[in-house]
Every structure is written in structure tokens, then in C-alpha cells.
Amino acid sequence: MFDETLQNLLTEAFAASGCPVCTVVGAMVFRELCKLQRDAVVDPDTHADVLARGGYCADHFWYLDALASPVTNAALLAPLLELVSERLTAASNRIAADSALLRQGAAVIGEDLGLPGACRVCERVVLWERAVLAAVLEVATQPQRRQEYTSSNGLCLPHLARALSVAPNPSIAEMLVRTGAEQAQRLAADLRTYVRKHEQRDRRWGREEAAPRAAIEKLAGGKRRAGGTES
């Protein structure tokens, strides 16, 4: 099931303008957060897990803000804020009992406030990136499918670096670098076409219409993948 979904997403991603790993992982993050927005409120295990982690990382909290309705978010945020209040009350009581704590610095008081820990979405992103990158490398190295990879804009630089570190042999690494140079050159040419057409007020757009955004994604990675990238 995962494989079939992954293959379908990959085929779409190669035809799109962005990094295939960022595109597929971005789609998976979207699905996960669509499911989580509800499960974190109504499913007891998920709710307890999200509470224990102090919510999500900043990227995925703001993602939920854009995605979920305010009332759904309010149902999750109320118990989280109650937990924060309990911890601050406990910290206040500790200070009242031992004012020397204040002289030891804010870190002593702040260490137990429950700042968000490991975000559960980020944890999944790390696993997904690994699986999707392996699937991309498989396509890129299959003679009958490699053209899907070479004709795409290819991996973003962060995922290319990751691919080179896990490439199973030197000839695959060499192919990734050589193809990467060609893909970057093609994207640069698309950007120049974009600028020229804009200056000439030529509105007959081709694939270069997507180039400015694709170029940012090429350099920095896709923004919907946010969080969780392995270092």
C-alpha cells in the first residue's frame, strides 16, 4: 500500500517542477497533518502523545494554524496551555520555597517548563525522506526509468548532498553529480527565458513559468517539507 502510494506520488513528482523528495514528503506531511489535526483532539493515544511532547515544532504548529480550523486547534491548545500553566505554577512555588533559585539563573527555573520536545511529524519526516530518497535513487538508476529522473529538475541541493552520502556505489554518485549539473544548467536557462519573456511582455509561457519557484526549491528545498531533515 505504502509502495503503491509512494510510486504514484513519485510519478507525479517527477513530472512537476520541484525536488521529487521534497514534493513527495511534502504531500505526506500534508496528509499526516490533515489526519493529526483531528486525531490529536479525539484519539486518546495521539492526544496524550502530542501533549507529552509539548505540541509540535514551530514549523508544524504554524502549518496546523494554516490548515486546521481555529476551533479544532483550540481543542488541542487548551490542554497544552493548562499544562504550561501547571508547570509555571510549580516553578513559582519552587521559587517561593527557595529564592536562591533565582540567583542560580533562569535556566534552573526554565528547564522544566516543557518546551516542545521531539515533534512527532518531524520524526516521521526523517523516516519518509529516507524511504523516498531510496525510491528516487532506484528510479534514477533503472535504465528503463532513469529518463524520468534526468528530465526532471532533479533533487534539491540538500537532498542531493544526502543522496551522495547514501549512494550505493561511486558510479551512481558520479551519475547524480553529472545529471545534477545538467539539471541546474537547464533550470538556469529557464530562468533566463523567464526574464527575457517578462522584459518582452511575452505571455506565452512554457515550463519556464515555474522556474523562479523551482530554482528556490532547488537551492533550499521545498518549504512544505518543513522540519525534520537529517543532518
User: Which residues contact Zn ion (rule: CB under 5 A)?
Assistant: 19, 21-22, 57, 60, 119, 121-122, 156, 159, 221, 227
What end-to-end distance do the CA atoms of the chain give, in Å?
Answer: 29
3-state secondary structure of 102: helix
DSSP state letter for 57: -
Pick 102 or 177: Cβ nearer Zn ion: 177
How big, in percent rounded to 5, are the helix, strand and coil portions of the chain?
75, 0, 25
Q: How far is the CB of 126 from Zn ion (least distance, A)?
A: 10
HSE-CB of 116 using CA atoms within 13 angstroms = 16
What distance in Å separates the CA atoms of residue 118 and residue 135, rounded to the nearest whole number?
26
* Residue (90 or 181) nearer to Zn ion, CB: 181
CB 163 to Zn ion: min, Å: 10
Nearer to Zn ion by Cβ, of 195 and 219: the residue is 219
C-alpha cell at 175: 551519475
Alpha carbon distance 11, 159 (integer Å): 18
CB of 60: closest distance to Zn ion in angstroms?
Answer: 4
Cβ 195 to Zn ion shortest distance, Å: 25
- Nearest approach in angstroms of CB 221 to Zn ion is 5
Output the DSSP codes for 133-175.
HHHHHHHHH-TTTHHHHHTS----HHHHHHHHHH-SSHHHHHH
User: What is the nearest approach in angstroms of Zn ion to the Cβ of residue 5?
Assistant: 19
